[in-house]
Structure 1
Amino acid sequence: MFINWLRQQASAAFILLLIRLYLGYTWLTAGWEKQTGEFDATGFLKGAIANSSGEHPAVQGWWAAFLKHVALPNVEFFNVLVVWGEILVGAALILGIFTTFSALMGAVMNFAFMFSGTTSTNPQMVLLTFFLLVAGFNAGKWGVDYWVIPYLRQRFRRNPSYPNQTTRHL
């Protein structure tokens, strides 16, 4: 019942709009502060790796191994990825374009931050993001998705190379 309300009702779309705007603003301002400041994830990554040992580690070993062997050696790439990921997710959520995908990418970033041992507002943002993900199209109904998603659906239906849903392929 609640899921149907989230996915179909205009009142839910309005509440989802507010959630979307809040999350978008939070992501956009976080990314903009990093872009205009002296952002470098090296210290954060080293701190997360250090927090993977001891009696009660805040970071799991598998994640620390990823940070140590992939993220830290490629920190310049991750510096750009974090900044532009936050800016693009924020802008997309504010505009309501590709809302579900943008929300999913925001959740992935939030989980990466939480895996690294930070809490801050990340759990709250993940919880709010789940509402956007469950709502699907209704989360972006009051946004650019109102025009983009129907256009893309129509475009793929007209494409003869796109498999018809009534045709069975063995």
Structure 2
Amino acid sequence: MFVKFLRENIYASFVLLLLRLYLGWEWMTAGWGKITEDFDAANFLKGAVGKASGDHPAVQTWWANFLEGFAIPNVGMFNFLVAWGEFLVGIALLLGIFTTFAALMGIIMNFAFLLSGTTSTNPQMVILTIFILVAGANAGKIGLDYYVLPYVKNLFFKKRNRTVNT
């Protein structure tokens, strides 16, 4: 019943708009700050690896191994991906374009930060993003998705119908 409300109700789309605007602003400003400053994730990543030891580690060993074996050696790529990922997720949520995909990418970043032993606003952002993901297309109905999703769906099904008919 609640899922149907989130997915289909016009009043829910207004509440989702507010959630989208809040999350979009948070992501966009965080990303812009990283883009315009000398953002370097190296110390954050090394700190996360350090939190994987002791009696009560905040970071699981498998995640620390990923950070140590892949993320830290490729920190330049992660500096770019985190800064621009945050910024673009924010813009997409603010505009309501490809909203579900943007929310998915945002929640993946939230979980990566949480797995790295940091809390900050990540738990609340995860909770709010779940509502957007469950709502699906209704979360972007008051936004550019209202225009873009039917166009994309039409392109996809035209191409698919041509493939089936040949």
Query: Would you say same fold, with TM above 0.5?
Result: yes
What residue is the counterpart of 2:99 in the other structure?
99
Distance 2:163 2:142 in 1: 28
Give the structure-2-normalised TM-score. Answer: 0.96
Query: Structure 1 residues 87 and 163, CA, compared in 2 at 3 Å: closer, same or farther?
Result: farther
CA distance in 2, matches of 1:49, 1:162: 49
Map 1:127-138 → 2, pairs under 5 A: 127-138=127-138
Distance 1:81 1:60, change over 3 A: same
CA distance in 2, matches of 1:112, 1:64: 11
Q: How far apart, CA to CA, are the structure 2 residues paired with 1:60 and 1:141?
A: 39
More helix by share: 2
Q: Which runs of 4+ in 1 moved over 2 A?
A: 160-164
Cα distance in 2 for partners of 1:52, 1:119 equals 15
- Verify: 1:4 aligned to 2:4, yes or no: yes
Identity of aligned residues (%): 63
Please state whether the residue corresponding to 1:54 is helix, strand or coil: coil
**Over the residues paired in the alignment, what is the CA RMSD in angstroms?**
1.1
> With structure 1 as the length reference, what TM-score do the two structures score?
0.94
Q: Secondary structure at the match of 1:153?
A: helix
Q: CA deviation at 1:161?
A: 4.7
- Aligned counterpart, 2:76: 76
Determine the C-alpha separation between the residues in 2 that align with 1:126 and 1:2.
18
Shift of residue 163, structure 1, vs aligned partner:
5.3
Paired residue for 2:30?
Answer: 30
Question: Where in structure 1 are there 5+ consecutive unaligned residues?
Answer: 165-170
Q: Given residue 149 of structure 1, which amino acid in structure 2 is its aligned partner?
A: L
Q: Which consecutive residues of structure 2, in runs of 5 or more, have no partner in the other structure?
A: none
